[in-house]
């Protein structure tokens, strides 16, 4: 296991992403952050509160469970569902920012886009991830990236988030360990 | 990323006995999540696309069959409806041959309603797919019990902080099940499930309508409804199954109704203004007065709504993953 992002690196990345979201959207109007379980939920909450501090008003943060839209359901036993919480304003006409920990094949995000389509019709959808490790299998890219991390397929990227794992850290485990 | 469900269900759902407490709570929690989809503008999920579900109904049914059909369709499964009337059953085809035929057509799950107790167990030995018991004789009706438990849990956890009771069981809830216990598969499944979830169950019925061996069940028994209703949080009324009654179990319908029927006067004796459940169909004026059935405490129609969510949860948990 090699640490690639420390706790301080992660909080700097979240601050930067928060600023970038405001910059790209020219403010925080109509922005809704949706975290993808499990760790994306907490990242979305952190970004949400940072943006709240920067612009001086809180912005809606929710969660989006994608389990029922996955394309690999048939390869594993059934997965437990986690709650989908859409902020009271809904998502119609809003600027949605999906938040996840790692962007890899892009299949999770495809499922998230399908899940969103069932709930409503946003004005636009953007994607923020803490780590982009490459190896896309679908034409999907992130708008906001904490760190680009070139990896091989054999390597494992492990994101730890304080709310879930007790500490903030990103580690990478090599193929020969 | 969500993790794989830990208390994985068995391949079939034949009896509440197949479920541990954790698995039962998993079904209720999954249903709670799926219920939100039923409120969404687009009530359709791709989850079971390409799966085939057969509704194999040897007995008449309105809500169970339609409920399973709606649940399967909302998950994008293909549904084949089979009723014994108008099929080769009238030419003498046996359950086994019918089941093998359905399997040859590629059914991933068979939902069976049959008048013989134990029919679903037999069917499970013959087919490769999942079997879901939708009522077998006077034995069990597990999805009805699950939807009743779901309805109770939701209503006793109205506080938004409790999130509809997700993750919770029914510890400390007093439930009276009233009426024709003898012929009721709903009662059997409910006794098993509610007591497994920690509820205290009281059966209220004339002695003639209690089954042999009821003293071994995890319940208390009362012959006096007025007395039993006092401490109840929930009263579950059962339909008098006149079609299964081959001898006289009580002197007259009027007397039964007076002693064991639910009316507003009797309901007022309940100290906690109990919730009213009934699996349907209702005999209005016999086991329950029309006034009670339509009152604000009556959850009879909500049970129907919740039935779809519960059946979606069961179908997802049995068919949503890899083939066993």
Mean pLDDT lowest among B109-118, B155-164, B245-254, B281-290: B155-164
Exposure of A45 in the CB half-sphere (CA atoms within 13 A): 10
Q: How many CA atoms lie within 13 A of B87 on its CB side?
A: 17
B104 token code pair = 């040859």
Average pLDDT, chain B: 90
Q: Which residues contact A69 (CB under 8 A, 6 or more apart)?
A: A111, A112, A114, A115, B45, B46, B47
- Confidence category of residue B4, pLDDT binned at 50, 70, 90: very low
Q: pLDDT averaged over chain A? A: 94
Beta carbons of B197 and B140 less than 8 angstroms apart: no
Domain over B16-140+305-319 is classified CATH 3.40.50.720: no
Asked, as a colleague might, if the bond just before A115 is cis with ω within 30 of 0, I would say: no
Decide: B139 and B188 in contact? Cβ < 8 Å: yes
CA-CA distance, A120 to A90, in Å (whole number)? 8
pLDDT at A113: 96
Q: Mean pLDDT, to the nearest integer, of A44-50?
A: 97
pLDDT score, position A177: 53
pLDDT, residue B3, reads 47
The tens digit of pLDDT for each residue in A11-20 reads: 999 999 999 9
Residue B310, min C-alpha distance to chain A (Å): 14
DSSP letters spanning B121-150? HHHHHH-SSEEEEEEETTTB-HHHHHHHHH
CATH architecture assignment, domain B142-303: 3-Layer(aba) Sandwich (3.40)
Tell me the shortest Cα–Cα distance from A19 to chain B, in angstroms: 26
**What residues in B contact A80, CB-CB < 8 Å?**
2-6, 26, 29-30
Taking residues A22-43, what's their average pLDDT?
96
**Position A155 confidence tier, pLDDT thresholds 50, 70, 90:** very high
The whole-number pLDDT of residue A53 equals: 96
* Residues A101-126: tens digit of each pLDDT: 999 999 999 999 999 988 899 999 99
> With pLDDT > 70 as the criterion, what percentage of chain A qualifies?
98
CA distance linking residue B105 with residue B82, whole number of Å: 13
Closest Cα to residue B127, out of B89, B100, B105?
B100
Largest CA distance in chain B: 62
Residues 6+ apart with CB under 8 A from B302: B151
In which band, very low, low, confident or very high, does the pLDDT at B82 lie, cut at 50, 70 and 90? confident
Residue B242: pLDDT band (50, 70, 90) is confident
Taking residues B241-249, what's their average pLDDT? Answer: 83
| Contacts B317 to A, Cβ<8 Å | 78
DSSP-derived letter for residue B2 is: P
Q: Chain B residues with CB inside 8 Å of A77's CB?
A: 4-5, 8, 321-322
Distance between A43 CA and the closest CA of chain B, angstroms: 14
Provide the shortest C-alpha distance from residue A80 to chain B (in Å). Answer: 5
Record: contact A68-B46, CB cut-off 8 A: yes
Q: Where do the domains of chain B lie?
A: 16-140+305-319, 142-303
Cis peptide before A10 (omega within 30 of 0): no
CA distances from B200 to B130, B185, B192, B194 (A): 32, 19, 11, 8
Assess contact for B242 and B286: CB atoms under 8 A.
no
Instruction: Give the pairing type, strands B130-136 and B109-114.
Output: parallel
CA A132 → CA A112, A147, B169, distances in Å? 17, 6, 41
Q: Which residues neighbour A75 within 8 Å (Cβ) at sequence distance 6 or greater? A: B322
Where does chain B have alpha helices with state H? Answer: 21-39, 63-74, 95-104, 119-126, 142-156, 185-196, 225-228, 253-260, 264-267, 290-293, 300-319
A82's tokens: 């986690």
Q: Which among B236, B136, B151, B228 has a CA at the least distance from the CA of B191?
A: B236
Same fold, B16-140+305-319 and B142-303: yes
Residue B1: its pLDDT value, please? 40
Q: Do B113 and B59 form a contact (C-beta atoms < 8 A)?
A: yes
Residue B321: what pLDDT?
A: 83
In what side-by-side order are the strands of the sheet with B130-136? B78-83, B52-57, B109-114, B130-136
Q: Do A68 and B316 touch (CB under 8 A)?
A: yes
Q: How far apart (Å, rounded) are the C-alpha atoms in residues B13 and B20?
A: 12
* Residue with tokens 């920690």, as numbered in its chain: B198
What does the pLDDT average to over B300-318? 95
Beta-carbon contacts below 8 Å between A and B: 74
Say what the pLDDT of residue B162 is.
66
**Is residue B302 scored above 80 in pLDDT?**
yes
Query: Among A30-39, A121-130, B77-86, B216-225, which stretch is predicted with the lowest mean pLDDT?
Result: B77-86
- How many residues does this entry show for chain A? 177
The architecture CATH gives domain A7-72+81-151: 3-Layer(aba) Sandwich (3.40)
Quick one: pLDDT at residue B160? 64
Query: What's the full length of chain B, in residues?
Result: 324
Point out the residue among A74, A77, A83 whose CB comes nearest to the CB of B5.
Answer: A77
Q: Is the pLDDT of residue B293 over 60?
A: yes
For the ranges A97-101, B30-34, B78-82, the maximum mean pLDDT occurs at A97-101
Give residue B195's pLDDT. Answer: 96
| A73: nearest CB among B37, B47, B166 | B47
Q: Specify the pLDDT at position A175.
A: 65
Contact criterion met (CB below 8 Å) for B238 and B181 = yes
In the predicted structure, residue B111 carries a pLDDT above the cut 90: yes
Average pLDDT over residues B73-95: 85
B195 φ/ψ angles, rounded to the nearest 5 degrees:
-70, -35
Q: Which of B26, B318, B322 sits opposite A76 (nearest CB)?
A: B322
Token pair, residue B94, equals 């046996």
Across the range B193-198, mean pLDDT stands at: 96
Q: Which residue has the higher pLDDT, A49 or B98?
A: A49
| Per-residue confidence (pLDDT) for residue B2, from 0 to 100 | 43
Please give the torsion angle defined by the CA atoms of residues B44, A66, B52 and B34, in that order, rounded to the nearest 10 degrees: -60
Closest approach of B287 to chain A, Cα-based (Å):
39
pLDDT at B138 over 80: yes
User: How many CB atoms within 10 Å of residue B189?
Assistant: 26
pLDDT over 50 at B52, yes or no: yes
Nearest CA in chain B to A36: B1
| pLDDT at position B159 over 80 | no
């Amino acid at each position: 296991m090699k640490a690639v992002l420390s706790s301080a690196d992660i909080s700097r990345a979240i601050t930067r992403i928060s600023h970038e979201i405001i910059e790209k959207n020219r403010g925080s109007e109509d922005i809704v952050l949706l975290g993808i379980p499990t760790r994306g939920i907490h990242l979305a909450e952190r970004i949400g509160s940072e943006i709240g501090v920067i612009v001086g008003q809180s912005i809606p943060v929710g969660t989006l469970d994608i389990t029922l839209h996955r394309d690999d359901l048939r390869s594993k036993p059934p997965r437990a569902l986690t709650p989908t919480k859409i902020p009271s304003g809904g998502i119609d006409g809003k600027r949605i920012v999906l938040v996840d920990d790692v962007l890899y094949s892009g299949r999770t995000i495809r499922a998230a886009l399908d899940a969103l389509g069932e709930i409503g019709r946003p004005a636009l959808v953007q994607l923020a991830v803490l780590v982009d490790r490459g190896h896309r299998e679908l034409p999907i890219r992130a708008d906001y990236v904490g760190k680009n991390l070139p990896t091989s397929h054999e390597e494992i990227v492990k994101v730890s988030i304080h709310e879930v794992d007790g500490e903030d850290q990103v580690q990478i485990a090599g193929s020969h360990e | 990323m969500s993790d794989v469900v830990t208390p994985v269900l068995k391949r079939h759902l034949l009896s509440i006995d197949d479920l541990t407490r954790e698995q039962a709570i998993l079904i209720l929690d999954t249903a709670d999540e799926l219920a939100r989809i039923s409120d969404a503008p687009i009530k359709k999920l791709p989850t079971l696309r390409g799966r085939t579900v057969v509704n194999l109904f040897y007995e008449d049914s309105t809500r169970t069959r339609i409920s399973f059909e709606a649940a399967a369709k909302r998950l994008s499964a293909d549904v084949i409806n089979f009723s014994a009337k108008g099929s080769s059953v009238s030419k003498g085809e046996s359950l086994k041959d019918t089941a093998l035929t359905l399997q040859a057509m590629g059914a991933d799950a068979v939902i069976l309603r049959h008048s013989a107790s134990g029919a679903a167990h037999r069917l499970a030995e013959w087919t490769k797919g999942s079997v879901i018991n939708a009522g077998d004789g006077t034995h069990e009706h597990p999805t009805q019990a699950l939807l009743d438990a779901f309805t109770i849990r939701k209503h006793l956890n109205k506080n938004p902080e409790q999130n509809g009771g997700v993750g919770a069981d029914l510890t400390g809830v007093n439930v009276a099940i009233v009426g024709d216990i003898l012929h009721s598969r709903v009662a059997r499944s409910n006794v098993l499930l509610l007591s497994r979830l920690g509820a205290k169950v009281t059966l209220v019925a004339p002695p003639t309508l209690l089954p042999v061996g009821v003293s071994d069940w995890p319940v208390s028994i009362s012959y006096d409804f007025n007395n039993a209703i006092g401490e109840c949080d929930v009263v579950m009324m059962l339909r008098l199954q006149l079609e299964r009654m081959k001898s006289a179990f009580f002197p007259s319908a009027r007397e039964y109704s007076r002693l064991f029927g639910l009316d507003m006067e009797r309901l007022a004796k309940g100290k906690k203004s109990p919730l009213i459940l009934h699996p349907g169909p209702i005999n209005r004026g016999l086991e329950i007065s029309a006034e009670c059935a339509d009152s604000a405490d009556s959850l009879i129609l909500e049970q129907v709504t919740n039935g779809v969510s519960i059946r979606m949860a069961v179908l997802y948990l049995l068919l949503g993953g890899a083939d066993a």
